[in-house]
Structure 1
Amino acid sequence: MTSEQPPPEPPADPLAQARMRMAHLPQMGSWVLWPAVMAVFVLALGFSAKFIPGYTPAELVVDQNISAHHDGFLNTVALALNTVFGPLGGVILVAVVCLFLLLVRRAPVNAIAFGAVAAVGWLSCQIFKVIVGRHRPDPALLANPLAPESASDSFPSGHVCLAVALAFALYYLAWGTGREKLAVVFGIFMVVVVGLSRLYIGVHYPTDVLASVIAASAAVLFFTGVWNRYAMAILARVRILQRFGPVPAPR
């Protein structure tokens, strides 16, 4: 068993407390074990999809059926999501939220926590992409490839990992406000829509999308334990943050 470090003492001022809501994130008990198990499962899923004969052709049928029934409005929505949750769009999206929390809400702890959770969950996909190296669906085999890609980085989906990471970050931001259920519903909706859009465009297989949810979740769940143990001790030493808002001292 590992001893849990107690969260920092909340300030007496309710406004200051709200600005430091993410100083201590909701954390599962086995924050090392279960993320490790989830990561192993993702790798097993990826290598199975890559090397088991007939696995990829069977999944390709899903992309082909969707590609043969594209709709003008859905094309626009899918391509918009492709841009918003893409590399550049994702950086801008996360940066805008963090700057809003920092400069408008005057909540440096929340801003850093939100950005860190989003970044860790999002970038976790790169580790599995490099290890597994699964090729994307061949656009030549699709009826209407909207954004043709042929690289060996199909598994898992970076777009879906970003959506999952943002869903966690929004939930943590809403924690203790009474809006947790709304954040959960919105987060699930966002992940499902982005996941379906990746299949709709034809740049990922269903297994890629499923693995993205598990991989990003594992990364975020592990990070919450690290954040709760060490973040406040580090942020307390960054004195410039106090110019933007309250930063609690570590216990």
Structure 2
Amino acid sequence: MPYVRHWLRNSILLFAVAIALGLVAAHTSLIQPHDLDLDRTIQTNTRTGWLNTTMKLVSYCASPVAGVIILAVWAGWLLFVRRRPLAAVSTFLVVAVGWNSTQIAKAIVARNRPPRQFSLDPEIGSNSFPSGHTAFTVAAAIAAYFLFRNSRHRRTVAVLGVLAVLLVAFSRMYIGAHYPTDTFGSVLIAGSAILFVTGVWHAWLLPRLDRIPLLDRFGLAQERAELAAAEGGYAGHTDPYGAHAGPVPGSRGGGRHRRHAGR
């Protein structure tokens, strides 16, 4: 997980901007009519039988049930199969916190969902801002990028992550579960929460992971040694999956932020 300067200030500011956007969208007429018009344009001009089924499936893949399964399998694979406890814990935190931060925003903003008569799959929950499905996808995409950011696959992972977020966001508007600002707000809310997690990770959690005996049984010391070697400017380093990722760009030793950047 990378180190981000001014993480607390930036996370609070981003969260405040997202909440302000949600409150304006939910409780004024500045955004709501345009949101509804765009929803209806998407639904009127693009809905068809096969696409209805596809968008429902896409939406389900980011649903709470599917999200819990994906996160459990992902973190479990990193811990038990790849024996990368740092990667497993950091991935779990990024996805879980980025995803569930939407519940705080939902309670604050309290925006009603789009009219149910236009929905292909009516939601049980009443709070529309932000979209939890989109936030899960944002958090998963960022977690995946963190894992691969020092490998040759980082651009591919970044592009695929952006496409996944856009697809899930579109599916939520397509089926009539969310407004456009709900999906955009998810990016802001999840992003603010993940900024906060990066700071907490480096300031408090990472130095204390040695106190959890279970993690050491799965190779915590070995993973720390590999990261230390990577940050020390050796000829090559390993990504969180143990694959060779080539030289470390600009590695010339210490520096407070350089020390954190490889984590």
Which TM-score band applies after superposition, normalised by the shorter structure? 0.7 to 0.9
Pairing 1:83–2:60 present: yes
TM-score, normalised to structure 2, is 0.80
Pairing 1:98–2:72 present: no
Q: Output the amino acid matched with 2:81.
A: V
Whole-Å Cα distance in 2 between the matches of residues 160 and 80 of structure 1? 14
What is aligned with 1:152?
A: 126
Pairing 1:122–2:96 present: no
Whole-Å Cα distance in 2 between the matches of residues 88 and 151 of structure 1? 14
Q: Secondary structure at the match of 1:155?
A: coil
Whole-Å Cα distance in 2 between the matches of residues 161 and 150 of structure 1? 18
TM-score, normalised to structure 1, is 0.84
Pairing 1:28–2:4 present: yes
Structure 1 residue ranges (4+ consecutive) displaced by more than 4 angstroms after TM superposition: none
1:70-126 Cα offsets, whole Å, 9 max, x none, are: 122221221112211111100001111111111111111111111111001000100
Report deviation, 1:223. Answer: 0.8
Query: Relative contact order, CA 8 A, sep 6+: which one is greater?
Result: 1
Report how many aligned residue pairs link the two structures: 224
- Consecutive unaligned residues of structure 2, counting only runs of 5 or more, are 229-258
- Consecutive unaligned residues of structure 1, counting only runs of 5 or more, are 1-24
- With 188-197 and 51-60 compared, the bigger mean Cα shift is at 51-60
Pairing 1:230–2:204 present: yes
1:187 to 161, 165, 186: 161
Report deviation, 1:66. Answer: 2.0
Q: Output the amino acid matched with 2:210.
A: A
Say what the alpha-carbon RMSD is for the aligned residues: 1.8
**Percent identity over the alignment?**
40
Whole-Å Cα distance in 1 between the matches of residues 43 and 159 of structure 2? 28
- With 216-225 and 176-185 compared, the bigger mean Cα shift is at 176-185
1:141-170 Cα offsets, whole Å, 9 max, x none, are: x2xx21013643100000010011001100
2:25 to 36, 39, 49: 49
**Quick check: 1:135–1:151 contact (8 Å CA) kept in 2?**
no
Whole-Å Cα distance in 1 between the matches of residues 160 and 19 of structure 2? 28
2:47 to 43, 47, 70: 70
